[in-house]
């Protein structure tokens, strides 16, 4: 299906790997001019043909710097607030009492305030273009017990933020939607020193054995991790004119992990 995105401009945060990289590649394949931001510009991101900006999106200035770079090329039609997570497993498994103020602030700066700041900077252009915002949240926003509480509550804030934005800016022509993936096989699960590696160690399991068991242990009826490309495909649809009446929605891609209606 032609998504009718050719020639439009997208800004993607956290695009060097995983879901963000897949999104940047998918949008570029649709003919969009992609401006991609990340702390480190990976070779894989460079190969997508995106215009890249090396920037720390967890800082107060980083998101606006990325948007400013995009505006130098023209108006913005799509903002994808993807940056998030925090791949390190150290200090993430001790429960609520194990988190310091600094860890809470770090989680909210990266997973929530980065989206607030990028959206604030991009909205004037998005209003002029009658554009779209897609926030990448997590199914943990609906099941806050399912991961580190700093991360899941920050994602809950991001999901609520998207709904509020949709109500305020929908009448001005800006569609805002959220995607909430479940377990996606990215560096958060796979990398050395990652959350997945730390979790495996805490359970006395080999890392690969943990990964093999994640789909069943988290109730994924599909029996497999979500692929980053699946999330990217939904982003392209939500950004397109084919989704002109989709606004304020939260799409869950979690392999059936959430069992409630």
Structure tokens at 68: 């400013």
3-state helix, strand, coil in the chain (%, to 5): 50, 15, 35
**Residues contacting 72, CB < 8 A, separation 6+:** none
Structure tokens at 100: 């310091």
Point out the residues that are catalytic: 151
Q: Identify whether the C-beta of residue 250 lies closer than 8 Å to the C-beta of residue 180.
A: yes
d(CA 92, CA 194) in angstroms, rounded, equals 10
d(CA 143, CA 159) in angstroms, rounded, equals 12
Distance of CA 162 to the CA centre of its chain: 12
pLDDT value for 86: 67
Strand partners, 13: 37
Structure tokens at 111: 């997973």
All domains of the chain, ordered by start, with CATH? 9-182+227-252 (3.40.50.720), 185-225 (no CATH)
Compute and round to an integer the Cα radius of gyration of the chain: 18
Q: Measured between alpha carbons, how far is residue 140 from residues 61, 136, 250 in Å?
A: 27, 12, 13
Q: What is the pTM of this model?
A: 0.96
pLDDT value for 87: 54
Q: How many residues are present in the chain?
A: 261
In order along its 261 residues, the chain shows pLDDT tens digits of 999 999 999 999 999 999 999 999 999 999 999 999 999 999 999 999 999 999 999 999 999 999 999 999 999 999 999 999 865 666 788 899 999 999 999 999 999 999 999 999 999 999 999 999 999 999 999 999 888 999 999 999 999 999 999 999 999 999 999 999 999 999 889 988 888 999 999 999 999 999 999 999 999 999 999 999 999 999 999 999 999 999 999 999 999 999 998
Place of tokens 């990976």: 42
Virtual CA dihedral for 149, 226, 27, 242, nearest 10 degrees? Answer: -100
């Amino acid at each position: 299906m032609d998504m009718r995105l050719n020639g439009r401009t997208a800004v993607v945060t956290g695009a060097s790997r995983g879901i963000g990289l897949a999104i940047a590649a998918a949008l570029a394949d649709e003919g969009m001019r992609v401006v991609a931001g990340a702390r480190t510009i990976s070779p894989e991101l460079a190969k997508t043909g995106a215009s890249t900006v090396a920037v720390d999106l967890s800082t107060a200035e980083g998101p606006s710097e990325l948007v400013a770079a995009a505006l130098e090329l023209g108006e913005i039609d799509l903002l994808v607030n993807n940056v998030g997570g925090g791949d390190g497993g150290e200090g993430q498994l001790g429960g609520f009492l194990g988190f310091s103020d600094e860890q809470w602030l770090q989680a909210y700066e990266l997973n929530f305030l980065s989206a607030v700041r990028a959206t604030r900077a991009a909205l004037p252009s998005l209003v002029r273009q009658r554009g779209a915002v897609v926030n990448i949240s997590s199914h943990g926003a609906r099941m806050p017990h399912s991961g580190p509480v700093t991360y899941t509550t920050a994602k809950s804030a991001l999901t609520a933020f998207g709904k509020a934005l949709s109500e305020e800016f929908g009448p001005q022509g800006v569609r805002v939607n959220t995607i909430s993936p479940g377990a996606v096989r990215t560096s958060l699960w796979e990398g050395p020193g990652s959350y997945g590696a730390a979790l495996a160690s805490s359970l006395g399991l080999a890392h690969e054995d943990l990964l093999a068991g994640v789909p069943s242990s988290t109730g994924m009826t599909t029996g497999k991790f979500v692929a980053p490309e699946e999330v990217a495909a939904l982003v392209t649809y939500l950004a397109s004119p084919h989704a002109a009446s989709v606004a304020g929605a939260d799409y869950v891609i979690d392999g059936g992990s959430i069992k409630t209606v």
